[in-house]
Structure 1
């Protein structure tokens, strides 16, 4: 390599799998580094699955403790990120099933700070009209409220596929179910959201797919991602 060639700052960084193995082998810092890489997307999935930041923090904490303790069971059949999402989503769903509630709270107003994290993106609001921002915020809240009314499994599938942008096959691994099951859950969830959010469709600001199409363009994309909580203490 010549002096003029740029170096890759991540070239010397351990991979996710190497970090997980180091954690299993007793490295006290490896799991924290691994979580730090993926905390924003894990938090986004947790908060959208649970419906509010307080329960999401509990669900994420449960998931991370489970991942910390079960790291030795990871066999490498899937990516480490897929495995982490599976553990966190399952922890959130377990909490929802135990509580037997359907959350309807909207998400907090501090979501804009993480608007460019993960697979999500937001426009530069400084250049937008305040009236437009108010309308957009109202519609985003309507989408989140509608999402909270879905059955837990449908909501989890839609969060991962439509809001986080994961491929259906990878979501099937995360949720430990068949690809067809994920498609079915997404299709039924989208059909339900299309009914609940019909006013948005009439205004031309939300594209809702036909119920029979499992893989249309993503119709329910929030433009922001929530604030991540502090890294949980080691169990």
Structure 2
């Protein structure tokens, strides 16, 4: 924070934003505090008085942690923060009306490569340290909501975690409150290199698929997965290592290939988001994507939960006249 002025103008906002984008924890905290009144005013105007306002402000702070690097006009960071609050409020209102919420965390543009996403959006070490302090039940919804790219709506998270949507909202609310304290407690301590860990997981995802195409997926499972690994979908255990290998072999035999598009890697939880590429003669063999949601125990994957992306809905064809 050395050299950052303490005023309240756009120049000071720009200095704080650039420092936060460079990883300065205290700069981001000060930035959020400076704009809290305006953010709260937006939430109150959309939601009215109540506990939802504090919940939305906590959500906006977590989105800011993840997306501060996206701010292209540092002097306009206040407007960006208020937009984040506005989007969170609208998502909450849609959810309360039982309408599927839209994504409030924008996806990177198509021309951005996974490697560029990794460089610009890899979690700061101290954020991961705070996430790791959450219980497994709270950690998974938070990681999916804020750090995945394809499993961010309440409905999708509920399907991946095999719990009701209301439980997802409750767990996220509890996790946000816990993280607010954990982030403060862990900001000044030494942490592992999250970027290095995420890079290694990208490589492992690519190497795993390459080994599978060479017919060596069984060796990968033996080396990296626990002997009693559980394969799940929708919260139900389908089988173990044998089924995991059989499923991979079946897809490859059918001409289906996977391509990593996003990786989230912590000490205890890893998410590989894959694009599924179907053969030309069977374009509907598999859904468009799958996420490998994996937990680790003793350095080995002990649970693999597969969450498939929804198939695109076919356009209705009007009846012939």
Asked if TM exceeds 0.5, the reply is no
Greater strand fraction, Structure 1 or Structure 2: 2
Comparing both structures, which one devotes a greater share of its residues to helix? Answer: 1
Question: Which structure has the larger Rg over C-alpha atoms?
Answer: 2
Q: State the TM-score bracket (shorter-chain normalisation).
A: 0.3 to 0.5
TM-score normalised by L of structure 1: 0.37
Q: With structure 2 as the length reference, what TM-score do the two structures score? A: 0.28
